[in-house]
Amino acid sequence: MFSKACEYGIRASIYIGQQSADQGRRVGLRDIATEIGSPEAFTAKVLQLLVRAGLVTSVKGPTGGFELTAEQLRTVTLREIVVAIDGGEMLQGCALGLRQCSARQPCPMHYQFLPIRDQLNELLRTHTIGELAGKVHDGLGFLKQFS
Amino acid sequence: MFSKACEYGIRASIYIGQQSADQGRRVGLRDIATEIGSPEAFTAKVLQLLVRAGLVTSVKGPTGGFELTAEQLRTVTLREIVVAIDGGEMLQGCALGLRQCSARQPCPMHYQFLPIRDQLNELLRTHTIGELAGKVHDGLGFLKQFS
DNA sequence: TGATTACCGGATATATTTGTCCGGTATTTG
DNA sequence: CAAATACCGGACAAATATATCCGGTAATCA
């Protein structure tokens, strides 16, 4: 569904958000990678994308790390994360790969896929990182497999 | 959403199906690639997968080519094509990439994604190649961009 | 039977994604 | 100011997806 980069980006954002909401704790890369079960260096690249897009905040030096401001927790949606990493392609493009699939020249599945894609967009648009972080905080969601 | 290979595979199957239904015409690789706008050699690889999976029929030699039997037209679904090429991963795996995401240890988006994924599965399961081929035949769907 | 046709299958090439490494820079702390 | 910390950014490496090439094989037809 999403690229690995995007999966890591979402999980990392939620973890950072959870730690930020929970007494404003700033978290380092090592910690993030450990807690979401992702490759550290690759996760760093993904986070740089999110920082440049203004979706995550980073601070250098000792006591530095990543955090989400109160505003980011409240306003950044899953959709923004996905678009920043994977681009809008997957959320708009034709399921069968036609470059200009529309009502004018629809692919045979065009009208069947439309409602599903719309729901997916709506889903991503209506969930903030802060909300998802809360779920993890309450033990209602997990970012890694504990076995 | 789907891989390129899968997009080509679906479009090719529908085109073959349309030609098979329309007076049992058998079609060659060159023809297929031209009509759906795909790279010929790569499309051949994808079709081999579908032939091996029993979803498409091939005949060697002069007058040979690809075709869909009446039974294939009636019974082969989009889902079987997708699974044969991309595997079941995308239709079952966790949206956030957790290896064992379930009600026991759900990712924060687990319950939100479930209905969408279910609808997608249902969509693929309930559309046969024959049905989609009919749509193309009737000019209600296209497999390539005509500009 | 011999020539042609067209799919088959393996090897190879290219592009993209995924993942790593390491020096640079900003920041904190003693 | 000096040393340590931790993100930044570019180069590099590995894996996978995409795409091509070409000889092999089966089938048709003269």
User: Check: CATH 1.10.760.10 for A4-87+128-137?
Assistant: no
For the stretch A95-113, pLDDT in tens is 999 999 999 999 999 999 9
Name the band, by pLDDT with cuts 50, 70 and 90, for residue A81.
very high
Annotated domain spans of chain A: 4-87+128-137
Name the band, by pLDDT with cuts 50, 70 and 90, for residue A146.
confident
A-B CB pairs within 8 A amount to: 107
Residue with tokens 């024959």: B130
Instruction: Determine contact: B99 vs chain A, CB below 8 A.
Output: yes
**Does A142 contact B109 at a Cβ distance shorter than 8 Å?**
no
Share of chain A above pLDDT 90, in %: 94
Instruction: Determine contact: B137 vs chain A, CB below 8 A.
Output: no
Question: What value does the mean pLDDT of chain A take?
Answer: 96
Strand C contacted by B59 CB (< 7 A):
yes
Q: Which residues contact A99 (CB under 8 A, 6 or more apart)?
A: B145
**Does B145 contact A105 at a Cβ distance shorter than 8 Å?**
yes
Per the structure block, which two tokens stand in for A12? Answer: 């990392």
Instruction: Determine contact: B116 vs chain A, CB below 8 A.
Output: yes
Out of A112, A113, A141, the one facing B106 most closely (by C-beta) is A141
**Does A8 contact B97 at a Cβ distance shorter than 8 Å?**
yes
- For residues A78 and A11, what is the distance between their CA atoms, to the nearest angstrom? 10
Instruction: Determine contact: A114 vs chain B, CB below 8 A.
Output: no
Q: What is the DSSP string of B72-132?
A: HHHH-BHHHHHHHHH-SHHHHS-TT--TT-SSSS--TTHHHHHHHHHHHHHHHHT-BHHHH
Out of A113, A123, A144, the one facing B112 most closely (by C-beta) is A123
The class of domain B4-86+128-137 in CATH terms is: mainly alpha
Q: Which of A14, A15, A20, A19 is nearest to A35 (CA)?
A: A15
Which residues of chain A are within 8 Å of residue B109 when distances are taken between CB atoms?
Answer: 78, 123, 127, 132, 141
Per the structure block, which two tokens stand in for B82? Answer: 């997708």
Torsion from C-alpha of B46, B51, B56, B57, nearest 10 degrees: 130
Strand C contacted by B74 CB (< 7 A):
no
Is B60 exposed, middle or buried (CB count within 10 Å of its CB: 0-12, 13-18, 19+)? exposed
Which residues of chain B are within 8 Å of residue A93 when distances are taken between CB atoms?
Answer: 1
Count of Cβ atoms closer than 10 Å to residue B95 Cβ: 25
Q: Is B136 helix (H, G, I), strand (E, B) or coil?
A: helix
- For residues A18 and A143, what is the distance between their CA atoms, to the nearest angstrom? 11
Question: What value does the mean pLDDT of chain B take?
Answer: 96
- For residues B85 and A58, what is the distance between their CA atoms, to the nearest angstrom? 41
Average pLDDT per consecutive 10 residues, chain B (147 residues; last block may be shorter): 97 98 94 98 98 98 97 98 94 94 96 97 98 97 90
